[in-house]
Structure 1
Amino acid sequence: MTLQSDHADAAEPTDTAEGVDLPDAVKTAHRGERAGVGQAADVGGVADAADAVDPADMAERVRVVLQAADPGAAWAVGGPDGLHAGSQDDGSALDVGDLSPVLAVWPVIGSLVAEEALRLHTPLTAYGTEAPAGTTAHHLLSHSTGPAAHDALTRLAEQLTGSPLAELAATRFWHPLGMAGTCFADGTLRAPLADLVRFLSHLLSPADHPVTRAWITESLRIRTGELTPARGLLWYPAPHGTWSYGETPTVWVSPRRHRWAILLPTHPPGPLRHTFRDTAFAPTPYP
């Protein structure tokens, strides 16, 4: 099976957001991190002095970027302790269908691995799931992209448990995390910003339930060997020690910086995607 994705995080960062010039301080942060573009993300759990950031300063720089490029975007930045800064949240359910693989499929597959109901390197046909000969869950998570791979993983989870994905995700993860507003409606996944904050905060917390630390650790490391683009289990390595998923709505987590971020733009983000990431994760520039 060949790699099928040239993920957007492999692209060079930019000093503009949707054609809008950014403040000099933000540009400085971007230029200082360009040497790390294209390298594997550092998933170590210890931040050094260079990773220090003033949360208030970071939040203000993010607001400046979003106000210039997409003032209607929903966004948030935080850590294992929860939200640090974000757009106004009125509690309304947002369309996060493009994030359903990471919010629903990925944790459900991880729970089946933890229960030893699924082995990542066992061919899917051994579980009665139709798939090309030799295809495994590991292949689908680390080498394949797009709806076909996600649909195959969904069928696998539902076949192993006898329950639909929506029920599995809700009972195993969303409800335990207090994500009361997250659900599939009219064929798409919807969630309020506060629920996304709960999910991403948990991924960086020391808690081993409902998503296990072992599954998170195994997912946030290179699983593709020398093949490119590099990839973990569903997640992609990106600059500033981050791992990302998604290209229009996007989530990032950085165990090294103890920080996560989410961007839900109102239109295809173009350069804004990288600018937002760099502003949220690059060390605070000093004079």
Structure 2
Amino acid sequence: MGKSKLSPKPAHTIPRLELCAAVLAVELYELIRDEIDKDLDAVRFFTDSKTVLGYICNTSRRFFLYVANRVNRIRQVTHPDQWAYVPTEQNPADYASRPTKTIHLQNSIWFSGPPFLYHTDREELGNSAENYPLIEPEADPEIKPTVAMLLTQKVNSLSAPFGKFETAGLHVKQWKQVQNLADTFWKRWKREYLSNLQSRRKWTQSRPNIQVGDVVLVKDSQESRNEWPVGLIINTLPSRDGRVRKVEVKIVKQGTAKTYKRPISDIVVVVSDNT
């Protein structure tokens, strides 16, 4: 069984095309393996590209995306030990891509395969791919360049001496400590106290309704919690079951009093006549 594939556009480099051919060989193997009702004891793959063999067996360098994806596809199904090199003159695939006379084709390895396939000794079944390192890795555009770092500082060098202690620097340190304490207090106050003032949607016990005259905070998603406006409940809108689920709250902004309707989920009671 054989299979060929047209070169994709835009034009690829020869190493990329050879790598695509190796991927095609793996896909063809998967098709045959899934279709036949027989377990295969051993499978060998051959390529006439030493560059591709270097890609498959590489363990020291990293590739760019195109080569990395295809090498990963190959190594998901096969092991580098299964790959070997076939010289160009013994590669039957060349007969499908080059003009050949009929009389020469009848007596060629196109039908019988290269002679070394009939040997059972592994060493005679072609050279192992492990013998092929990367070819000119520093000049190969598919291989990521290595980055070397040079440390010029002495390892056992002494640290710089302490400078003069100044009062101004001491004040800056104290000010930072005070700011840190204030920030910590505000975060804990919002997380541990302020959130407990809000009535939850579900409670294990009944809670008193919001009443007219309660002082509340009105949630505003556009503002931080410390900037939520303070309001006064001037009217409650109970549901049929008598539970208040919406209120009218008066808020004073820039000296002007305004009234808003808000659900109780957007209200945080600060001072209530019930407490």
Determine if the TM-score, normalized by the shorter chain, exceeds 0.5: no
Name the structure, 1 or 2, with higher relative contact order (CA <8 Å, separation 6+): 1
TM-score, reference length from structure 1:
0.18
TM-score (norm: length of structure 2): 0.18
